[in-house]
Structure 1
Amino acid sequence: MRHERVLRDARRAGVDALIVLAPANTYYVSGFRAITYSRPVLVVVSEQPVLIIPELEESHARLRSAIRTIRTYSDMALGGLTGKSTSQLAIDLTVDVMRDLGLRGKRVGFEPTSFTVDGHAYLSQAWGEPLVPVKGLVERQRTVKDEEELHLIRVGCELAEHGMRVEVDDSVPGATEVEIMARGNAAMLEVAARRFPDLHITSGSRPVSGEKAVLPHSIPSGRRLRRGDVVIHGTGCVVEGYYSEDERTIFVGSPTSEQRRLFDVMVRAQQAAIDAIRPGVKCKEIDRAARGVIEQAGCGPQFTHRTGHGIGIDIHEAPYFSASDETVLQPGMVMSVEPGIYVDGVGGFRHSDTIIVAESGADVLTKFPKTLAELVVP
């Protein structure tokens, strides 16, 4: 059980129990994922773990949670009478749980980056004993995926390929970004409903074109594609809470010589990074492999972000293919590989693939074509 591994590592960190609050972490530890976290969800990880949820989520939690002891709080009657916020009501119940678990006088850890300043102050006052900040413990566990997690990510990547095919084929002059997005999402969800009816799946698509393609992060709009546009397509699905990522740069009509050159540099940089991936290599070495190709081509200043990131319950999670990340790659890690080049007036150029770190190297899950000849829409 995951909570047992978290407790083992918590004890190694010098605490007897750990209060988990970050939504991705509570889902990872318990198996319960709320639709919204406006009302806090917490897990007290101890020898007898307890899931703490708002009352309205109880039926859902009992269906999904691997933690069988569930305690609930309500913001309906009590909150109105006491004037307390939902966060304070959740913390009050957490303190009651900690007392019931016999944690008085013991070292209790908490996630310092998940609590607000007010929330931490309220918890500290309500508990009345020192709490120990324990940073990144669950996040580190999440970096290596088990077979169930890998299956969900593979499903998401398979669905992303269907969306990408439709979006690329529909990228013709006059089509709007949001029309293309809608058709890509529909394609992914149609296949999801047919092939994976028992899985909870949402889709995400974000084609951006023209002047917006030079923005590493942008949002589709009603802009109509024009001949000569560079378009960056991004597709993916969230399958039982696990993300996937598939991105391709395409051209509406024939690219210019400079666009061809930058596209070629980007493709070579991405392949250099993929070729460098294997267990035992540090994340920063993968960034160095991609960045070296781009810098050698004179485009270093136009590569403004890291080469990739972990993918799982969060779309961006540790570790990172960045110049400073010393994390050593292990089998079962899932990463994006996405070096990019962005030049005003010319275009943005970025492919992104989701890969699994395998014993033999990178297992690339997103297999949509990458060559220039396959990504020009006449």
Structure 2
Amino acid sequence: MTTELRRAPEITADEFGRRRSAVWAGAEAAGLSALAIFYPARIAYLTGFHHVPTERPLVLVLGPEAKTVLVVPAVEKEHAESVPGVDRVEVYFEYPGEGHPLKRLARVLRSLFGSGSVGADHDGVVPYWGYRGPRLSELLGAPVVDGEMLVETLRRRKSPRELECIQVSCEWAARGHRRMQEAIRPGETELECYAPAELETLREMIRSLPGWRPRSFGGNGVTAMFVEGRKTAYPHGFVRGHGLQPGDVLVSGASADIDGYHSELERTMFMGEPNAAQRDAFANMMALQARAIEALRPGLPMADVDREVARFAGELGCADRLRHHVGHSIGLEGHEAPFLDRGEEAVLEPGMVLTIEPGLYFPELGGFRHSDTVCVTDLGHRVMTDYPRELEELVIPVHR
């Protein structure tokens, strides 16, 4: 019996075109003659062009009738020219070069779109890898209108195809996590346990998804890892390579890249049976996450979710062990706006995809955090990650 192979979902050229048209409609309504986009994830969102951000500036320009120009360094020339829907590719040789690359951008803006008002998601390149350069407004000799939200407002609500990509990411994250959990052995380091599981899951993705390849740079397409011991008491603990010991708390993370889209699956596990204090901390963490998920519905201020979790943590007597907000949006980036944070002004809308991950952190015990990827629906919410979450299912046998 053979298993039918299913292609991984991808964002179509038509959808990229609709995104650009929607952004340009907003730019026109704001009286702009051109819009410059510097941020790599926004460029990918509007074109499907994923690139390695370096010190070399790379800019997307939108103009009348959603005309699209990419200004790129020579190292990206062929890559940029292969992107469907891009009307023109302007190439400069190198940074810093004899003339700063942003001067080429200024010439493009003037030649194509005249002397009208220009918007941008940032007034020039965000410094990276030693980049230095002028503000765009300095080169144009006029203020640049803040156009960031013209793109970001669209990114908040995921399209049906985006939701499909994230759902498939969730499914592969679960496969990688299951393989990793089964490979954990006492005495071995984290890397020895999870690196082979990541590789085997990557091989399975290649065999099972014809034509699939990771779109985002900086990863191999699948992640299944964990941090162990007291390092888990730091929300962003580092892998230190110590041998796993009975009694250790493990906090994991798994995801997969499906046409550049990501999900988040995290679990708290234990090397052997947890003690009473660990069980109590785990139970409180689970209760907080359940309360946050139950609260999700369209129209609810996102700040209210974070406030409700903080209030409930106070009732449970563990509010002083919170170290971060309840969660964040996710999609092309592992962290996106808006956030489930008491300072957030946005409200929940159908199509938003969020991580739900209130965590509790104890220097003497470790960290306790589950994270699930959840979509807001017209009627409430839908949990997209499907993985065991009860304590008994997350205990690693110390003898096997």
Same fold (TM over 0.5): yes
- Which residue of structure 2 lines up, in the alignment, with residue 167 of structure 1? 180
Give deviations 1:196-243, integer Å, cap 9, x for gaps: 232222122331011111110122232111000110011112222222
Q: Answer yes or no: is the 8 Å Cα contact 1:206–1:220 preserved in 2.
A: no
**1:266 aligns with one of 285, 291, 307:** 285
Superposition deviation, residue 14 in structure 1: 4.1
Superposition deviation, residue 8 in structure 1: 1.7
Pairing 1:252–2:271 present: yes
Pairing 1:97–2:103 present: no
Q: Answer yes or no: is the 8 Å Cα contact 2:120–2:145 preserved in 1.
A: yes
Q: Answer yes or no: is the 8 Å Cα contact 2:38–2:122 preserved in 1.
A: no
Please give the alpha-carbon distance, in whole angstroms, between the structure 2 residues aligned to 1:208 and 1:135: 35
Q: Answer yes or no: is the 8 Å Cα contact 2:43–2:60 preserved in 1.
A: yes
Pairing 1:121–2:139 present: no
Pairing 1:338–2:373 present: no
Pairing 1:3–2:9 present: no
**1:66-145 superposed matches below 5 A:** 66-75=85-94, 79=97, 82=98, 84=99, 88-89=100-101, 91-104=102-115, 106-112=116-122, 115-116=125-126, 121-145=134-158
Q: Answer yes or no: is the 8 Å Cα contact 1:245–1:353 preserved in 2.
A: yes
Please give the alpha-carbon distance, in whole angstroms, between the structure 2 residues aligned to 1:127 and 1:33: 27
Identity %: 35
Cα 1:261–1:215 change in 2 (3 A) is same
SS at match of 2:293: helix
Q: Answer yes or no: is the 8 Å Cα contact 1:17–1:107 preserved in 2.
A: yes
Counterpart residue type for residue 297 of structure 1:
L
Pairing 1:148–2:161 present: yes
SS at match of 1:64: coil
- Which residue of structure 1 lines up, in the alignment, with residue 379 of structure 2? 360
SS at match of 2:237: coil
Cα 1:241–1:228 change in 2 (3 A) is same
Cα 1:113–1:102 change in 2 (3 A) is closer
Superposition deviation, residue 119 in structure 1: 6.2
Which moves more between the two structures, 12-21 or 226-235?
Answer: 12-21
Pairing 1:30–2:43 present: no
Counterpart residue type for residue 59 of structure 1:
E
Q: Answer yes or no: is the 8 Å Cα contact 1:207–1:234 preserved in 2.
A: yes
Name the TM-score, length of structure 1 as normaliser: 0.91
Counterpart residue type for residue 210 of structure 1:
G
Please give the alpha-carbon distance, in whole angstroms, between the structure 1 residues aligned to 2:117 and 2:43: 20
Pairing 1:351–2:370 present: yes
**1:239 aligns with one of 225, 247, 258:** 258
Give deviations 1:29-79, integer Å, cap 9, x for gaps: 122111343322211111222121122322222333432322222128x92
SS at match of 1:35: coil
Please give the alpha-carbon distance, in whole angstroms, between the structure 1 residues aligned to 2:55 and 2:237: 26
Counterpart residue type for residue 39 of structure 1:
R
**1:320 aligns with one of 326, 336, 339:** 339
Please give the alpha-carbon distance, in whole angstroms, between the structure 2 residues aligned to 1:289 and 1:225: 36
Superposition deviation, residue 116 in structure 1: 4.5
> Which aligned segments of 4 or more residues in structure 1 are displaced greater than 6 angstroms?
117-120
Superposition deviation, residue 188 in structure 1: 2.6
Count of residue pairs brought into register by the alignment: 369
**1:310 aligns with one of 324, 329, 332:** 329
Superposition deviation, residue 175 in structure 1: 2.0
Superposition deviation, residue 311 in structure 1: 0.3
Q: Answer yes or no: is the 8 Å Cα contact 1:13–1:134 preserved in 2.
A: no
Superposition deviation, residue 114 in structure 1: 6.0
Q: Answer yes or no: is the 8 Å Cα contact 1:160–1:235 preserved in 2.
A: yes
**1:222-233 superposed matches below 5 A:** 222-233=241-252
Name the TM-score, length of structure 2 as normaliser: 0.87
Cα 1:4–1:182 change in 2 (3 A) is same
Please give the alpha-carbon distance, in whole angstroms, between the structure 1 residues aligned to 2:351 and 2:203: 29
**1:186 aligns with one of 184, 199, 204:** 199
Cα 1:196–1:36 change in 2 (3 A) is farther
Which moves more between the two structures, 153-162 or 135-144?
Answer: 135-144
Superposition deviation, residue 356 in structure 1: 1.3
Cα 1:113–1:360 change in 2 (3 A) is farther
Counterpart residue type for residue 42 of structure 2:
N
Superposition deviation, residue 189 in structure 1: 0.7
Structure 1, unaligned runs of 5 or more:
none
Which moves more between the two structures, 62-71 or 361-370?
Answer: 62-71
Superposition deviation, residue 359 in structure 1: 1.5
SS at match of 2:257: strand
**1:208 aligns with one of 227, 238, 251:** 227
Counterpart residue type for residue 111 of structure 1:
D
